Amino acid sequence: MTQKKNIKVSVIVPVYNGEKWLNRCLQSLVNQSLREIQIICVNDYSTDNSLAILQQYAKKDKRIVIKNLKKNGGESIARNNGLKIAKGEYIAFVDQDDYVDLNFYEKLYECTRNCSIDVVKGNVKEKNSGVEIIPTLNSKIRENRFHFLFNWWSAIYKASFLRYNNIQLQENTILGADLIFLIKAVVNANKIITVDDVFYHYIRRVNSGDSKILNYKKISSIFKVHSYIYDYLDEKKISKENYIITYRNHFFGFLSYFYRSKGKKNEKFVYEKAIEMYNKCKYKSFFAEKYAQECLNYLNYLNNKNKTKLLTLLQEHFSSIFYPKITINNRKKYIYVWGKGEDSERVVRQCEYNNWNITGFLDSNKKKGAISPIKILKQKNKNYFIIISSRKYSSEIAKICNQAGLKEGQDFWRPH
């Protein structure tokens, strides 16, 4: 095995019944260009062929360490067991159904050489039902590190920093332990930097912990996590500006669960707890002033604890608080999304919620994985419907669609 002093990154992989995806994940790790890594696979009492797969890889690669748990405890317990035996200078996490670029850890580790950096974050490619999007999170983190509130597994964390600040995974939560881990890292880090040209590949699955529709247990767990985070921010006494950035992200993030919680019981829980969360905000007036446009009428209903009107407003702003509801009056065979920016991420969310399958993305800038709009518009058979994602260029793109003989509402939709 690689000597302890030579291990630059320890990668922790929690494994539970992952035989369908393990080969892809492990192939991306054993073939990393950074050879001085430790691959810790924590088998969380799998009942399928996962352990046999891990053992096959361990026979061929001495950098792989297998930790077998005697009973199933969940991802947080598995990850914390991995932390206990990690020997690397930095710690990384990969989910069994995800994978990373082959130079992912080399690129991130290179950034730690010149100065003391606690966290280095790479980029992400998120795949939903075969549709690939690249979130715009890194640019926001460069503006202010307190925007780093998700995609925690796309970073490496200095091991001594985690130990000194007692940062590990919360073990008594069904969903959201990663949010607590990440907020502690963000609050306590000396420096966080981002790298844009190397990717963690996140695969969203229907039955995963972060599936698009969540049950009551998961939503209630998320609420407890957000409450814990607000208490932690109070304890750490961070600046008002950073507090409001964090509060805003988590508050609206929690509200978004309204659209991932089908059923009156779940929806009722979300909007009632939203009022409770709002009352925990230390700087309500500053929050209202800074995010007045985004808050719309939410503040009035939250202040007055008007549950009925809050419910109505949430229902009207269907799948994204900051994006208009998409209407498709004439469903055709194929759906294309014109644009691959931040707005397209919200389009994907709405399409997922409505079970609309996206055929592909159109983009004149030839972004990776995008189709040329001209190629589609020139087709004689107009058996497709185009959703224009960009609010900034919606009028310009709508004009192009009109010139191609498409009719708004029948052949394409645009945000107004």
pLDDT at 11 (0 to 100): 98
Which residues have a Cβ under 8 Å from the Cβ of 208 and sit 6 or more positions away? 97
Q: Could you tell me the pLDDT band of residue 272, with boundaries at 50, 70 and 90?
A: confident
Owning domain of residue 367: 334-413
Given a cut of 80, whether residue 307 has pLDDT beyond it is no
Q: Domain boundary at 256, 286, 316, which?
A: 316
Q: Is there a domain that residue 323 lies in? A: no
**Residues 182, 48: one domain?**
yes
**Does residue 258 form part of some domain?**
yes
Question: In terms of domains, do 221 and 196 share one?
Answer: no
pLDDT > 90: what percent of the chain? Answer: 59
Whether residue 146 contacts residue 242, with contact meaning beta carbons closer than 8 Å, is answered with: yes
Distance CA 90, CA 202 (A): 21
Residue 328 lies in a domain: no
C-alpha to C-alpha distance for 204 and 202, rounded to whole angstroms: 6
Say whether both 310 and 237 belong to one domain. yes
In a domain, 47, yes or no: yes
* Predicted local confidence at residue 287, as pLDDT: 82
The reply to whether 33 and 82 lie within a common domain is: yes
pLDDT at 158 over 50: yes
**pLDDT over 70 percentage in the chain:** 90
pLDDT band for 392, please (50, 70, 90 cuts): confident
Least reliable range by pLDDT among 82-91, 343-352, 399-408: 343-352
Residue 321 included in any domain: no
Say whether both 28 and 137 belong to one domain.
yes
Least confident range of 50-59, 68-77, 178-187, 230-239: 230-239
From 204, 231, 246, the end of a domain falls on 204
Q: What is the pLDDT of residues 170-190, one digit of tens each?
A: 998 888 999 999 999 999 999
Any idea what the CATH number is for the domain that residue 372 is in?
3.40.50.720
Domain boundary among 252, 287, 316: 316
Whether residue 100 is contained in a domain is answered as yes
pLDDT(212) > 70: no
Do residues 53 and 186 share a domain?
yes
Number of domains in the chain: 3
Q: Are residues 32 and 171 in the same domain?
A: yes
**What is the pLDDT at residue 92?**
98
Asked if residue 146 and residue 10 are part of one domain, the reply reads yes
Q: What is the CATH number of the domain that holds 118?
A: 3.90.550.10
pLDDT digits (tens, 9 = 90+) for 350-391: 887 778 889 999 988 776 678 999 999 999 898 999 999 988
User: Pick the residue with more confidence: 386 or 206?
Assistant: 386
394 and 361 within one domain: yes
Mean pLDDT on 275-304: 76
Asked whether 125 and 132 are in contact (CB, 8 A), the reply is: yes
Alpha-carbon dihedral of residues 142, 145, 147, 152, nearest 10 degrees? 100
Residues 82 and 135 in one domain: yes
The HSE-up count of residue 28 (CA atoms within 13 Å, CB side) is 22
State the DSSP H helix or E strand holding residue 234, giving kind and residue range, or none if neither: helix 216-236
Quick one: pLDDT at residue 367? 64
pLDDT of residue 2: 47
The string of pLDDT tens digits covering residues 101-156 is 999 999 999 999 877 899 999 999 988 755 677 888 999 999 999 999 999 999 99
Reported pTM: 0.80
51 and 153 housed in the same domain: yes
Alpha-helical (H) ranges within 237-341 are 240-256, 264-278, 284-290, 292-295, 298-303, 307-316
The pLDDT value recorded for residue 276 is: 86
